[in-house]
Chains A and B, each alone.
Chain A
Amino acid sequence: MDKLLELLSENSSFTTKELSLMLGEPEDYIAAQIKEYEQKGIIKGYQALVDWEKVPDAPVTAIIELKVTPKKETGFDEVAEHIMAFDEVSSMYLMAGSFDLSVFVKGKSMQDVASFVARKLSCIDGVIATATHFMLKAYKIGGVNLNDDSVDDERGMVL
């Protein structure tokens, strides 16, 4: 895998200077490379990794499994495009297995999410069944262990 992308996907706050030191490439080369990735749409954006549990009035997240009847010609894409147009949908994947679309929905409350599923998602033409799973606790996101704030103080300083 491209080391530059790997580093940026771990931590997008690395400066071009830092990246150039780590990768042993000139700084302007790194800057050009990043720009190219952005232009080609390989890098889609930069986001902060938030542990929402620590934030008051944090949003509620649910994963909704959707069974969908694929359309002639367009397959799942048409329904998918319809669904992802909702602001409530934060991520969405086409899955192999017992259901078709995995939709990540954010809402102010469980009520909020429930009504979105009942009133909007399930009414879409082609959606056959839904199963809603509310997230209770995040342990690890984007490769980061959220409970790893403290240094493991069982480690001994021996000398």
Chain B
Amino acid sequence: MIDYDSFINQSIKGVKPSGIRKFFDIAIEMDNVISLSIGEPDFKTPWHIREAGIRSLEKGKTWYSPNRGFMKLREEICHYYKRRFNVFYNPEDEVVVTVGGSEGIDLALRTIVERGDEVLIPQPAFVCYEPLTYMAGGKPVFIETKAENNFRLTKEELENSITDKTKVLVLPFPNNPTGAIMEREDLESIAEVIIRHNLFVVSDEIYGELTYGGKKHVSIADIEGMKERTIIVSGFSKAYAMTGWRLGYLLGPEPIMSQILKLHQYGIMSSPTTAQYAAIEALRNGDDDVAVMRKDYDLRRRLIVGKLNEIGLSCFEPLGAFYAFPCIKSTGLSSDEFSTRLVKEKRIAVVPGSAFGECGEGFIRISYAQSLKNIKTALKRIEEFVKEVKNENKG
């Protein structure tokens, strides 16, 4: 018998599986479950974008692309970031096209973080920052953002978490799972602290196109003095409903990007060619599609947030991404109990807030990347469930 354990890197064994998975696995075993647990658009990639991919295949464009990604795509990405978020990068040497935003986060952290470096991660946050920091040899340090601050990162919270070992701040806004955004004043106020302590920022802006209520995403790289110390992570998955194409990108200063490129080059070589052709079309002619999807998400967002508050699950107004993050403390259940019982008793799958960090306890994440019809049914069942639980508590 081989002792597999002795062959496995022990630091990998220490990585916990994602808490989102568990609920998906429960849900998939059952019939008639409406899933509000999925973090991907329910829309299909707009047809003209799919067609651009198909056309490239018909023309036989099936080779590797350059390591950094096709020049045409890099140019379009740079035009896009300038057009939408007012930050300009040089397509020659300040962009790397990655396999989704996820690869981008991994590359950025591994390029900057050294053993013992502290990486600040505001929580609740998407599940990958912690394990990727850990795998890069760094030490994740969590900053608890609070419902009363609309889950924004404040200057004080940041300042209090900094030690002489702090090197990087991960900035995940618009935020998954809370739907929180950071506005220009919020960013300006933390930028001062970041510069004073000479930190680097990995800004995950994958939901940058999905903001509501008249708010427009502001990139921290657009704040004075920040571009030179920021790596932007973004991609096509959320804005253009292109999750399966696996395409993202990193934007940052040349000296960092040339090091990032080496990791990408040796580990991945180049991102999928077909997806890159589709992405060029998305950036050139996809603004209207994004606007239509954004409008649709906004309708659902209003419905979900309004109803949740009415049901008695208080929910701050999320202004970005496609998640609502209501507080379930009034039911007396833990996030885990609430989510497990909800799927078992009412066939509605959500994700417990605790999957996104300890401070997510007492909350659940509800994705509104679902049809209005399903959202309507789901809200009705959640209402029944909350009533039943509250009655049990009385009795």
Chain B proximity of A141: nearest CB distance (Å): 15
Q: How many residues of B contact A (CB 8 A)?
A: 25
Instruction: Give Cα A144 to B87, complex, Å.
Output: 42
Q: How many residues of A contact B (CB 8 A)?
A: 15
Q: Is A22 an interface residue (CB 8 A)?
A: yes
Segment from B33-41, B266-274, B381-389 that makes contact with A:
B33-41
Cβ–Cβ < 8 Å partners of A151 in chain B: 33, 35
B residues 16-41 near A (Cβ < 8 Å) are 18, 20-21, 24-25, 28, 33, 35, 37-40
Instruction: Give Cα A11 to B377, complex, Å.
Output: 12
Cβ–Cβ < 8 Å partners of A14 in chain B: 376
Q: Is B302 an interface residue (CB 8 A)?
A: yes
Decide if A159 touches B303 in the complex (CB within 8 Å).
Answer: no
Q: What are the interface flags for B311-354 relative to A under an 8 Å C-beta threshold, 1 for contact and 0 otherwise?
A: 00000000000000000000000000000000000000000000
With A11-B372, A21-B307 as contacts: A159 and B39 at CB distance below 8 Å: yes
Q: Is A155 an interface residue (CB 8 A)?
A: yes
Chain B at the A interface: mostly helix, strand, loop or mixed?
helix
Cβ–Cβ < 8 Å partners of A13 in chain B: 376
Decide if A21 touches B20 in the complex (CB within 8 Å).
Answer: no
Instruction: Give Cα A19 to B183, complex, Å.
Output: 29
Chain A at the B interface: mostly helix, strand, loop or mixed?
loop
Cβ-defined partner of A24 (8 Å) among B20, B28, B302? B302
Chain A proximity of B47: nearest CB distance (Å): 16
Instruction: Give Cα A159 to B24, complex, Å.
Output: 9
Give residues in A with beta carbon < 8 Å to B: 7, 10-11, 13-14, 18, 21-24, 151, 153, 155, 157, 159
Q: List 28 A-B contacts (CB under 8 A).
A: A7-B299, A7-B372, A11-B372, A18-B303, A18-B307, A18-B376, A21-B302, A21-B303, A21-B307, A22-B299, A22-B302, A22-B303, A23-B299, A23-B302, A151-B33, A153-B28, A155-B38, A155-B40, A157-B20, A157-B21, A157-B25, A157-B28, A157-B37, A157-B38, A159-B20, A159-B39, A159-B127, A159-B128
Given A14-B376, A155-B38, 7 further pairs, Cβ under 8 A: A18-B307, A18-B376, A21-B305, A24-B302, A153-B28, A157-B24, A159-B127
Give residues in B with beta carbon < 8 Å to A: 18, 20-21, 24-25, 28, 33, 35, 37-40, 126-128, 299-300, 302-303, 305-307, 372-373, 376
